[in-house]
Amino acid sequence: MAKDVRLLTEPFVPGALVGPFTDAHPGLGGVCTFVGEVRGDDAVEALELSHYERLTLPGMESLADETLARFELMGLLIVHRVGAMLPGEPIVLVSACARHRRPAIQAVDFAMDNLKSNAWFWKREKRGGEWSWIEPRPEDHADLARWK
């Protein structure tokens, strides 16, 4: 099982990462990929993610290890941006490959639920020239709780 975990400060192109990831796993039967982007609705002008690198990257690595141990995967790719981003820019990419589709789908779902609600990032968004902090929604916590 191969894992690739990256914390980026610059924009990334999801396809440029997923292509080589899948090519590195010959014999796979299924790939599931999720890409989260900065929403362009509700007058969002920008999104900023802050983090404490000494916790963030090790936490992401630990999540990847837990995901690989929980699901029958051939490989896992987790990429997350930090810093300021504009609407339409990718924030997060999680891709899992497996011999069968179900473990890949479940692994991506599990990793995203953890990244969304149990992560090492502080988010704020800019609307009308003003910044405000974003807290996880009750739905995010409920999504995470179903994996317990």
What per-residue confidence (pLDDT) applies to 135? 84
| Burial (CB count within 10 angstroms: exposed 0-12, middle 13-18, buried 19+), residue 64 | buried
Task: Name the 3-class secondary structure at 68.
Answer: helix
What per-residue confidence (pLDDT) applies to 61? 95
What domains can you pick out in the chain, each with its CATH number?
2-145 (3.90.1170.40)
pTM: 0.93
Q: Are 26 and 2 in contact (CB under 8 A)?
A: no
Backbone angles phi, psi at 76, to 5 degrees: -145, 135
User: Which token pair is 34?
Assistant: 């999720």
Q: Are 32 and 78 in contact (CB under 8 A)?
A: no
DSSP code, position 87? T
What per-residue confidence (pLDDT) applies to 76? 98
CB atoms within 10 A of CB 86: 14
d(CA 11, CA 84): 10
pLDDT averaged per 10 residues, the chain (length 148):
92 96 92 95 91 90 96 97 96 97 97 86 93 87 85
Cα within 13 Å of Cα(49), Cβ side: 23
What per-residue confidence (pLDDT) applies to 1? 65
Q: Are 80 and 92 in contact (CB under 8 A)?
A: yes
